[in-house]
Structure 1
């Protein structure tokens, strides 16, 4: 029979089977992350049920464990992206490597240096006397936890990195008002938190722009980039080391030992000197044989950037795990003791829920915001990403000295925007850059620079305005949105919790 008369039925069936397999694989990818999250939440509920069997308030504690696990997953999905996103966007490490490094460092920071004692009325927002009734207090904390988790979940879906600290603050404020009225709120504390919405991202952006301006002036637009890098990269590594040593002393190790700010600065100076001595021969060795171009500089900045991302994740785990498990620990203590305490200890199993939940949330849902922070706001390379990491640590140190409550999310995102907006200004206004480009174009031995008219340079946007407006809007409504939702949930929970 001629081939033209044959029906390729087998080929058609095989094509259909292949299409079905591909469709099934895509669907399974979509449900795998929620499925694993559900399994984690159920395991947390089971552990809480086994540990609390026969204890007073066991049902409430199990419900709180479920909500705490959900909150931790959302913190991992949203907040941790700020620590590793710039390094991924700069291609200093792959997304998979970033997820592993961040997950390990977040868990280590939470379990090793996480705060073992916290205030039950988050950050002194609500007067303890206003919610002294145990059932009212449990309802308020549970409502705050659910509301903040739901808001962070929505923000992650909208691709808006928000402050988990501000979310839980808004949740506590809303349930506190619903429980005891406006007079229950410490408005002085709320005022300082509101001020940090503006101060922390602006400080982060300014510091990042200053660091980037220095790197451009001292290294990038020098005729001999490699020689300049041999001098200044060890200094920048020392500065990073000193700042992180002070940062971890003040914030990351507060659960182990109490260190004052002057002591932390001394530790930072010593650490900076040591790492400067170590970095000089290392950078000299790495720079041998490198070509006199920006790609070589990116290589020299990559390793310090990876280390800074890990340290930021460690410090974040040490500090922000309390956002997930603080209210949960307060509920556990109140349900067991039958009274509201000013401060409570966090049980190990509660801390494990927070640490593992943050890491799992990062692994399952973190890539969405990591890509946003690293690639979609502005273009980052290792030098620019290094400025973001350095700025984040320095801003926290300065804010701690000023006594300002700040958000690591706001600082990191502010630093990314600061780098992008500075590049826009520098591209159109810098005479040093213009002279450098002209010299390079005139040098026949170098690749000719891309010709761009001055008018084009002035209208060249290097920051995506849509993301800027979305993120700022999300920041502004985080506290009121979490507060309103928490107040509504509190009224519902009071029907069931008596």
Structure 2
């Protein structure tokens, strides 16, 4: 057993843990329940507790996809050396920490992706253009698709000719239909993840397609019926409960998509060290995010809730539904995605539906877009230059 290699791995693991803490304490740990706190549906500390639990669950059961993409799918020609992994994690976490302290909106996914590509190319790796095109497509389309879905939902919910017990119930049914087809590592056989729909195909004595349709349709109808009954008997209370459920799902999705940014660079090193399994790495990343959510997220949740308080439960629901859908799509594709980008786009779309495009601050949006692009460019340049000079 190589003691020097293990020592370097421990250093990389600590850097990964710090990155996970920063992610949990940042927007991915605060955003999912901030609308519910703003709508007075849940207290701040309880929201931080729940977002930590659901984020940890998402990291362990869904984190492998994005982790593998970040660890081995961004640069060809071999994995990063231990020193390169440490450099990537320190740069990514350092830039994010600076963003939190200064208020500059550094995007996690852009920062880590830029750092991995920068270090990898500087050390002689080759570009993986198909993956880059896929990532670029998701990043570019997220504001359009997420904002568009949020705009459509927010346009329908307040209409008097569409009762909310029906519209919100239909939304809940769609979310349920997606959820039963979401992949979880605990439901798979061997290295492959599985879905609740897959379980139905194994249990029901019918053709696979019929079984999948039965599970999907049954889940959608059941959840829609329950939500319709709940909202019909207590409209405001029912909306708050839907908001809490969506916040839980978004927190779960955040854990599954964001943990890969912290532990992805670390995964290729597990084979070299030989004493740590990829599952243990995911659990460690999930615990780091949980700690960040419990210790650092409450203040940000409280801060964001003040902004979300003007949204109300309907507009918050309009923003969280596309956030859940896009985050799960990113997990399915194995694409690192910025939760800031997802949620901000959805909020802008729902805001435009409620207050018109005049209510949207175009200058603020342009500054935010510039910050996202700048996060990637700055991270890439710093990583490339640091790797050339130090490694």
TM-score tier after normalising by the smaller chain length:
0.7 to 0.9
Q: Contact conserved, 1:109 with 1:252, CA < 8 A, in 2?
A: no
Counterpart residue number, 2:263: 325
Instruction: Sort the Cα spacing of 1:190 and 1:384 in 2 relative to 1 into closer, same or farther, 3 A.
Output: same
Q: Contact conserved, 1:99 with 1:363, CA < 8 A, in 2?
A: yes
Counterpart residue number, 1:352: 283
Determine the C-alpha separation between the residues in 2 that align with 1:395 and 1:100: 24
User: Number of paired residues?
Assistant: 376
Determine the C-alpha separation between the residues in 2 that align with 1:116 and 1:271: 25
1:142 aligns with 2:74: no
Instruction: Sort the Cα spacing of 1:119 and 1:345 in 2 relative to 1 into closer, same or farther, 3 A.
Output: farther
Determine the C-alpha separation between the residues in 2 that align with 1:264 and 1:70: 41
Residue of 231, 247, 257 corresponding to 2:193: 257
1:486 aligns with 2:389: no
Residue of 94, 115, 119 corresponding to 1:175: 119
Residue of 369, 377, 380 corresponding to 1:472: 369
Instruction: Sort the Cα spacing of 1:335 and 1:128 in 2 relative to 1 into closer, same or farther, 3 A.
Output: farther
Instruction: Sort the Cα spacing of 1:471 and 1:95 in 2 relative to 1 into closer, same or farther, 3 A.
Output: farther
Report the TM-score when normalising by structure 1. Answer: 0.66
1:95 aligns with 2:44: yes
Instruction: Sort the Cα spacing of 1:107 and 1:405 in 2 relative to 1 into closer, same or farther, 3 A.
Output: closer
Residue of 356, 360, 364 corresponding to 2:295: 364
Determine the C-alpha separation between the residues in 2 that align with 1:88 and 1:55: 48
Select between 264-273 and 101-110 the one with higher mean Cα deviation: 264-273
Q: Contact conserved, 1:141 with 1:327, CA < 8 A, in 2?
A: yes
Counterpart residue number, 1:37: none
Cα deviation for residue 467 of structure 1 reads: 4.6
Determine the C-alpha separation between the residues in 2 that align with 1:384 and 1:158: 29
Counterpart residue number, 1:193: 135
Unaligned runs of 5+ in 1: 1-51, 287-296, 338-343, 427-460
Give CA-to-partner distance per residue, 1:68-93, whole Å, 9 cap, x none: 11111111122222322222233322
Q: Contact conserved, 1:82 with 1:373, CA < 8 A, in 2?
A: yes
Cα deviation for residue 120 of structure 1 reads: 7.4
Q: Contact conserved, 1:55 with 1:336, CA < 8 A, in 2?
A: no
Cα deviation for residue 200 of structure 1 reads: 0.7
Report the TM-score when normalising by structure 2. Answer: 0.82
Cα deviation for residue 400 of structure 1 reads: 7.7
Give CA-to-partner distance per residue, 1:442-495, whole Å, 9 cap, x none: xxxxxxxxxxxxxxxxxxx5445565344222211122111122223324552x
Cα deviation for residue 271 of structure 1 reads: 1.3
Residue of 66, 75, 80 corresponding to 2:14: 66
Counterpart residue number, 1:438: none
Give CA-to-partner distance per residue, 1:150-199, whole Å, 9 cap, x none: 12222223445554233221111110121116xx1223322332232221
Unaligned runs of 5+ in 2: 199-208
Cα deviation for residue 317 of structure 1 reads: 1.6
Instruction: Sort the Cα spacing of 1:192 and 1:86 in 2 relative to 1 into closer, same or farther, 3 A.
Output: same
Q: Contact conserved, 2:257 with 2:336, CA < 8 A, in 1?
A: no
1:122 aligns with 2:60: no
Give CA-to-partner distance per residue, 1:109-150, whole Å, 9 cap, x none: 223444289537635221134x6xxxx622222221111111
Select between 185-194 and 170-179 the one with higher mean Cα deviation: 185-194
Cα deviation for residue 215 of structure 1 reads: 0.6
Counterpart residue number, 2:156: 214
Instruction: Sort the Cα spacing of 1:266 and 1:375 in 2 relative to 1 into closer, same or farther, 3 A.
Output: farther
Cα deviation for residue 381 of structure 1 reads: 0.6
SS in 2 for 1:249: coil
Cα deviation for residue 236 of structure 1 reads: 3.0
Counterpart residue number, 1:421: 352
Determine the C-alpha separation between the residues in 2 that align with 1:229 and 1:118: 39
Determine the C-alpha separation between the residues in 2 that align with 1:471 and 1:148: 19
Cα deviation for residue 264 of structure 1 reads: 7.6
Residue of 323, 331, 336 corresponding to 1:392: 323
